[in-house]
Structure formats: C-alpha cells, structure tokens
C-alpha cells in the first residue's frame, strides 16, 4: 500500500473548498496584525487574532526587537542547554518567576513545544495524567510523548473528574492538566473545584493559561489569579504569542520542578533557543502588562459589548466569558459559507471545525483586542446582525 494514499482524500477536500470559494486557511496578511489588517490591498476588521492587548503594533515592542537584533544578532544558533542561553533569557525568566510568585521559570521557543516539553518530562510510564476532553492539541501530544496512562474527563465536568480520580491506584503519580481558558469557546476551567480534588486525591495540577495571562486577574496574571489560586496551582504554562505579542512559551513552578524540566525536557534541550528579538519583545510586553491595566479594562469593555450584542441578536455563544467569543454554526460547510460572507463584508474571523470542535458544532471563533475602536464594534455587530437573518442562526 502506498504510504501517500492517505493524502488524496485531504487534497480532494481542499480542492473542493477552493472550487466553491470557501477555503479559509493560509490567508496572507500584508500588514501588522492589529485591529485592522490589509489583505489583497483591502482593509478588514480583524477578529481572528489572539493579540488580546493589541501590542503587535506598539512602537515600544518594535524598538526592543530591533535593538535586540542589533546587539545579539538574529539567532542564537543553538539550544538553551548548550550555547543558546543569553543574559536576556535569564532576565526574562527571573521576571516571570517574580510576576507569578513562583520559585523558577524556563522559556521555550514556542508555546506548543512548551507543553510537549513540560508534560513529557514531568510524567512517565508509571504516572497517570487526567485531562479535560477539550484541552489544546499540544497538551494531548505532550501526554502521548510522556508514555503516562492518559485519562480524559468530560468537558468541565467535575463529577466525571472525581469519578476517574477515585478509581486510580495509590502507587501512581497523578497529574491533572487543564486549559485555564478553553481556546475555541472561551469558557473557563472550574479551577476552584479542580483544586479541591487535587488536594483530596493527592494529585498535582498544571494549568495551560495561554489565553488567560495578560487578560484575566487584577494584575493580568491569568485564570489562576482570577480565582485567587496562584499558590494552589503547581505548574503554570503560558505563551508569548498572544498577549505578549511575541513568540515562545514559558513555565513557572517550584525551583526543583524547573531544574528537572531544564535538564530532561527534550523539546528544550534539542531545539534552538528563543530568538533575541522574541525575548526582548516579550520582556517589554511583560512590563506593559504590569504597568498598563487600562488595556485590560478596555479589552473587557469590548468583550462585554460583543457578548451582550451577540446574545441580543440571538446567537449561540456557548459559555464564553472571555474575549474569545464563538458563534456556534453547526455543520462544517455552512460554517465555511458563513465565514466567506463575513469575509466579503470586510470581517476577518476564524472558522473552526472538527476535530478542533466536537462533530456538528462547527463555529466562527471571534476574538478581540484592546485596540478595537467603537466604530469597529458597531460594524461587527451590524454585519453579524445581518448575517443572522441571512443564515437563520438565531435561537
């Protein structure tokens, strides 16, 4: 049997979507990714970005990146473990540890690699990992690499999580891993109840807070701070590609855990280190998160307007309570057609289908930035209001 035969089915699906004019992926953007972007010379309102604080266009971020390249060059040409550690890597790690009131931190080259590295290092064949069924793909792949026994519980179902925990043998290590903010539908993990179960069943807890840090909490420390549980979560993972307007990922935890990850995580040891420009821009973004709470305030004003507006129109927005706000469509092809209509109206959003969502629950994933204007919001709601009538999507 030809190994490449499996490629044909995907090729046919892609070609069909192109023929129907509803292929939505790999769209080249010709400008900085701010609240408005340029595609094929036309301006679009961007509601498909994860740059929640709108820092990608911030001149301070750009300046830091340029200065880092001038001083350190374009790359480190090696892994952190060997020749790829710069003083700015260490400075950023120390600042992250202090920010989260943890003993240590380590940064990775991408967010995906961060989860692969943490999970495959910290859990092994004699351990058990428990994850929410809607956790990010990087968590699932990290679990596969760990060789630990993997148990999945129903989405945000605390009773199901406890049912599984009750059944586990006492001689196995237990690690619960959960997204702080679920990236497709914007709902929050029930961390208070998960923490209770962590203590009750002698487990450890890791939170992937890629979409919460910079957005949630009084000081922007994310979902754990939002619930007042920073000290109760053993491992916090975050990314620099969202609120930090950079690229990379990090983990904060107790010193012993960080030391162990630094010396055993293959995704760290065998990957080139985070580039100087990315480190410098993430450092400036961290300082902005600390010093400019007005950005979070504006982001939440926008979020509340959109959620209220969508629900008044009659859209199903799931259980979102964050700047990630889905519009549930249903069937995949209808979702693509809806996306195409939004695109023609000057709105750039993201269509999401299975396996990123459950089958039959395709959605338009919208997300918002602190830099969106009142004019942007008015147009977004107007376009979606007209789309509701056109596609009969109201409940």
The string of DSSP letters for 28-45 reads PP-S--SSEEEETTEEEE
Asked if the structure places residue 338 within a domain, the reply is yes
Note whether 162 and 118 are same-domain residues.
yes
* Closest among 164, 184, 173 to 206, alpha carbons compared: 173
Q: For 21, which DSSP code?
A: T
**CATH at 80:** 3.40.640.10
Residues 243 and 224: their CA atoms lie apart, in Å, by 16
Q: What is the DSSP letter of 220?
A: S
pLDDT at 392: 75
Residues 316, 303 share a domain: yes
Query: Is residue 120 domain-shared with residue 246, that is, in the same domain?
Result: yes
Nearest CA to 241 out of 110, 390, 86, 72 is that of 110
Q: In angstroms, how far apart are the furthest CA atoms of the chain?
A: 61
Of 381, 255, 369, 247, nearest to 314 (Cα)? 381
Six token digits for residue 142 = 């990290």
CA distances from 221 to 115, 135, 217, 252, 320 (A): 19, 20, 6, 12, 19
Would 53 be classed as within a structural domain? no
Choose one of 291, 311, 328: the last residue of a domain.
291
Helix (H) or strand (E) holding 328: strand 324-330
DSSP letter for 298, please.
H
Tens place of pLDDT for every residue, the chain, 395 residues? Answer: 899 999 998 999 899 989 988 899 999 999 999 999 999 999 999 999 999 999 999 999 999 999 999 999 999 999 999 999 999 999 999 999 999 999 999 999 999 999 999 999 999 999 999 999 999 999 999 999 999 999 999 999 999 999 999 999 989 999 999 999 999 999 999 999 999 999 999 999 999 999 999 999 999 999 999 999 999 999 999 999 999 999 999 999 999 999 999 999 999 999 999 999 999 999 999 999 999 999 999 999 999 999 999 999 999 999 999 999 999 999 988 899 999 999 999 999 999 988 888 888 999 999 999 999 999 999 999 999 998 888 777 76
Count of the separate structural domains present in the chain: 2
CATH number reported for the structural domain that contains residue 378 in this entry: 3.90.1150.10
Residue 86 lies in a domain: yes
- Residues assigned a catalytic role: 183, 211, 242
Q: How far apart are CA 206 and CA 236, in angstroms?
A: 6
Q: What's the pLDDT score for residue 388?
A: 84
The alpha-helical segments, DSSP class H, found in the chain are 7-20, 59-72, 87-99, 111-122, 137-146, 158-166, 191-200, 223-226, 255-264, 266-269, 276-291, 293-313, 332-344, 374-391
Residue 79's contacts (CB-CB under 8 Å, 6 or more residues apart) are: 268, 269, 270, 271, 272, 273
Residues 205 and 362: their CA atoms lie apart, in Å, by 30
CA distance 118 to 101: 19
Predicted confidence at residue 381, as pLDDT, reads 97
User: Where a domain ends, among 247, 265, 291?
Assistant: 291
Alpha-carbon span 15 to 283, nearest angstrom: 43
Structural domain including 356 reads 8-46+293-391
Report the candidate in 208, 202, 296, 304 with the shortest Cα–Cα distance to residue 251. Answer: 208
Q: Which residues pair with 166 in a beta bridge?
A: none
Beta bridge partner(s), residue 52: none
- The answer to whether residue 51 sits within a structural domain is no
């Amino acid at each position: 049997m030809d190994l490449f035969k499996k490629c044909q089915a995907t090729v046919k699906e892609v070609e069909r979507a192109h023929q129907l004019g509803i292929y939505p992926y790999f769209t080249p953007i010709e400008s900085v990714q701010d609240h408005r972007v340029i595609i094929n010379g036309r301006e679009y309102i961007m509601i498909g970005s994860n740059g929640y604080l709108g820092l990608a266009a911030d001149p301070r971020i750009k300046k830091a990146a340029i200065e880092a390249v001038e001083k350190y060059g374009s790359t480190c040409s090696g892994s952190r473990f060997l020749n790829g550690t710069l003083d700015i890597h260490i400075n950023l790690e120390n600042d992250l540890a202090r920010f989260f009131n943890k003993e240590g931190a380590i940064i990775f080259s991408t967010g995906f690699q961060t989860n692969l590295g943490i999970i495959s290092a910290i859990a092994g064949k004699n351990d058990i990992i428990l994850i929410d069924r809607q956790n990010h793909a990087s968590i699932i792949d990290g679990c596969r690499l760990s060789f630990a026994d993997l148990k999945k519980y129903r989405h945000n179902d605390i009773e199901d999580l406890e049912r599984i925990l009750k059944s586990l043998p006492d001689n196995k290590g237990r690690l619960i891993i959960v997204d702080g903010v679920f990236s497709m539908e914007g709902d929050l993990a029930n961390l208070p109840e998960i923490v209770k179960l962590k203590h009750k069943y002698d487990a450890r807890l890791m939170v992937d807070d890629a979409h919460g840090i910079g957005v949630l909490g009084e000081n922007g420390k994310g979902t754990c701070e939002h619930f007042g549980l920073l000290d109760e979560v053993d491992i916090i993972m975050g990314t620099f590609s969202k609120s930090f307007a950079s690229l990379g990922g990090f983990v904060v935890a107790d010193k012993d855990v960080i030391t162990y990850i630094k010396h055993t995580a293959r995704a760290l040891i065998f990957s080139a280190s985070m580039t100087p420009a990315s480190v410098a821009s993430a450092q400036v973004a961290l300082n902005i998160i600390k010093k400019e709470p007005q950005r979070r305030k504006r982001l939440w004003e926008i979020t509340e307007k959109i959620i209220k507006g969508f629900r008044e129109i009659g859209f199903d927005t799931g259980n979102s309570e964050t700047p990630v706000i889905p519009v549930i469509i249903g069937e995949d092809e209808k979702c693509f057609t809806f996306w195409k209509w939004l695109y023609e109206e000057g709105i750039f959003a993201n269509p999401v289908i299975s396996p990123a969502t459950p089958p039959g629950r395709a959605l338009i994933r919208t997300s918002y930035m602190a830099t969106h204007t009142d004019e942007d919001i008015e147009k977004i709601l107007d376009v979606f209001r007209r789309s509701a009538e056109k596609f009969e999507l109201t409940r």
